[in-house]
Amino acid sequence: MARIIFLSNTPTPYQIDFFDELSKRHEVKTFFLWGQTAPFSDFYKGRPWVRILNYQKDGSEHQGCWKQLVEELLLDSPERIIIGGYRLPLSRELISWAHSKNIKSYFWMEPLLPCSALIQLLKKGLVAWRARRVDGIITVGKTALEQYRSATKKLVNIPYSIRVDKYQSLQKSGMKSIRCLFVGQFIDRKGVSELLEAFSQLSGSQVSLTLAGYGPLEAKILDYTRRFSHIKLAGFCNPEEINKLFGTHDIFILPSKHDGWGVVITEAMAAGLPVISTPYASAFKDYIRSEVSGIECSVDPDSIKKAVSYYLNNPSEITAHGERNKKILESSCSNSVVAAKELERFLEL
């Protein structure tokens, strides 16, 4: 049983299942840099691997947080250190400390954000420069794996993972219309406006759309729900409520303009749903083959309508695609059990 330290930024539900699984096998502590009450904080209660560092965006608590972290490091004597990003506050100090103690350290990173070719080249150069002082990079998705391949010789792809057995498989009951689900922030980047426009042009007798989440476009969604009875707002939902939504819908849709990963896609797969999304969501790009386990669309109302119409015209494919997705996910590193074992192998534990 090894002692592993993680440094991350914001507590989210994305990695709870992974850390729960890894903590069964090793002594794990995850330090989150978060200076306020964190979203979903209730889901961290009672988990012994959680530590919160009161880090402020203005850096005013930098030295205090570093002192607190060092005290824990000296107490725990970790054997491996994993840092969630090359620009993360305290990362430089932590890497230097690890070097002084002859402890191996690693970055764990998503793909680079969309940018011009020149900016991306500069960012890759900066990653390579920072990666000289760590022992390897863990990537979130194949896109990140390719982007950082030139930065280090030691890489592994371990995306965000979930406990697949907690998701409900869809129960078919001969429903007359197809129930579609969107889960995510109500922001422009998620393609919410294009999604609403697409469903406003689809027949409410054949298909419905439920949107779960929160964000600045909620007023726009409410306007559509008033005008179109087949568009419904579920609002903010906690993880347990989202699990139930997956179990009561037929298709998952995320017409995103960019997603570094897209955990909701893997959650939908675990629930046995086909996925309609864009190649700009890394999870879709890595796992879904169009017309085999989902449908690729662009961020365009007509493209989204065409993708939904595919399932309207081929309803038997809903079950077939969903079953394939569930099998794909069970054996992948998006399964928290598989991910924990793969991390062990990579860290040589």
Measured at the alpha carbon of residue 9, what is the angle toward residues 7 and 15, in degrees to the nearest 5?
A: 75
Residue 40 neighbours by CB under 8 Å, 6+ apart: 11, 12, 13, 238, 239
Q: Look at residues 329, 231, 237 and name the one whose alpha carbon lies nearest to residue 274.
A: 329
Q: Do 272 and 252 touch, CB atoms closer than 8 A?
A: no
User: How high is the mean pLDDT of the chain?
Assistant: 93
Q: What's the mean pLDDT in 266-295?
A: 96
CATH 3.40.50.2000 fits 165-330, yes or no: yes
pLDDT category at 80 given cuts 50, 70, 90 is very high
Q: What's the mean pLDDT in 84-98?
A: 95
Q: Look at residues 144, 140, 143 and name the one whose alpha carbon lies nearest to residue 127.
A: 144
Q: What's the pLDDT at 36?
A: 63
Place of tokens 């309207």: 312
- Lowest-confidence region among 50-54, 93-97, 317-321: 50-54
Burial label for 25, CB within 10 Å (0-12, 13-18, 19+), is: middle
Domain ranges of the chain: 3-161+333-347, 165-330
Query: Comparing 3-161+333-347 with 165-330, is the CATH topology the same?
Result: yes
pLDDT at 11 over 80: no
pLDDT at 39 over 60: no
Query: How many residues are listed for the chain in this entry?
Result: 349
pLDDT at 72 over 50: yes
Over the stretch 295-327, which tens digit does the pLDDT of each residue have? 999 999 999 999 999 999 999 999 999 999 999
Local structure of residue 166 (DSSP, 8 states)? G
Residue 238 neighbours by CB under 8 Å, 6+ apart: 40, 43
One-character DSSP codes across 290-340 = BTTTEEE--SSHHHHHHHHHHHHH-THHHHHHHHHHHHHHHTSTTBHHHHH
Q: What's the topology of domain 3-161+333-347?
A: Rossmann fold (3.40.50)
**Token reading at 249:** 């819908």
Residue 329 neighbours by CB under 8 Å, 6+ apart: 164, 266, 269, 270, 287, 335
Strand partners, 27: 3
Over the stretch 217-227, which tens digit does the pLDDT of each residue have? 999 999 999 99
pLDDT category at 35 given cuts 50, 70, 90 is low
pLDDT category at 38 given cuts 50, 70, 90 is very low
pLDDT category at 140 given cuts 50, 70, 90 is very high
What is the rounded distance in angstroms from the CA atom of residue 206 to the CA atom of residue 174? Answer: 13
Over the stretch 143-198, which tens digit does the pLDDT of each residue have? 999 999 999 999 999 999 999 998 877 555 556 789 999 999 999 999 999 999 99
Q: Look at residues 229, 31, 261, 258 and name the one whose alpha carbon lies nearest to residue 139.
A: 261
